[in-house]
């Protein structure tokens, strides 16, 4: 669960990276730290959950 504030644009980019539409290197540098934080949180949250 995300316990920090982030922009809608960074959420969209993070979703796009997660589904394979972009790489983190293709995210604009100005929002890349926020996107990386979202991705790191998702990676940690999803680590212990079984795949469906």
Whether residue 1 is contained in a domain is answered as: no
Whether residue 3 is contained in a domain is answered as: no
The pTM (predicted TM-score) of the whole model is 0.76
Stronger pLDDT, 51 or 5, i.e. the higher one: 5
Number of domains composing the chain = 1
Whether residue 15 is contained in a domain is answered as: yes
What is the per-residue pLDDT for 50?
52
Q: What is the 3-state secondary structure (H, E, C) of the chain?
A: CCCCCCCHHHHHHHHHHHCCCCCHHHCCCCCHHHHHHHHHHHHHHHCCCCCC
Average pLDDT value for the chain: 85
Whether residue 2 is contained in a domain is answered as: no
Stronger pLDDT, 47 or 20, i.e. the higher one: 20
State pLDDT tens for residues 15-39: 999 999 999 999 999 999 999 999 9
What is the per-residue pLDDT for 39?
93
């Amino acid at each position: 669960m995300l316990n920090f504030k982030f922009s809608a644009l960074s959420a969209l980019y993070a979703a796009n990276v997660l589904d394979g539409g972009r790489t983190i290197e293709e995210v604009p540098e100005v929002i890349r730290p926020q996107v990386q934080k979202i991705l790191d949180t998702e990676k940690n949250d999803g680590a212990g959950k079984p795949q469906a």
